[in-house]
């Protein structure tokens, strides 16, 4: 997920060094997730995620961003 504290711009090419939350998975089917900060990995109503492929071919069928807020007691 993009860290908007490091790279606040939403215009232009995406810079891979702006992304700070990663999840590695071995090509299995199913949902894969990573957690981010609502402060740093979100800007207004925008969140950015990236998939990097190091070998082979991957087909992405669906992408979902879910934001969960929790009240601390």
Tens of pLDDT, residue by residue over 13-69, are: 888 888 888 777 766 777 877 888 888 888 888 888 888 777 777 788 888 877 777
- Degrees (nearest 5) of the Cα angle 53, 17, 21? 70
Query: Quick one: pLDDT at residue 27?
Result: 65
Supply the pLDDT for residue 26: 67
pTM exceeding 0.75: no
Say which residue the tokens 């700070």 belong to.
Answer: 20
């Amino acid at each position: 997920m993009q860290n908007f504290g490091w790279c606040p711009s939403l215009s232009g090419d995406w810079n891979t060094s702006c992304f700070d939350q990663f999840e590695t998975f071995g090509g299995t089917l199913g949902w894969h997730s990573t957690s981010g900060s609502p402060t740093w990995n979100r800007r207004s109503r925008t969140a950015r995620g990236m998939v990097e492929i190091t070998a082979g071919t991957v087909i992405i069928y669906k992408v979902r961003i879910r934001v969960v807020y929790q009240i601390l007691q």
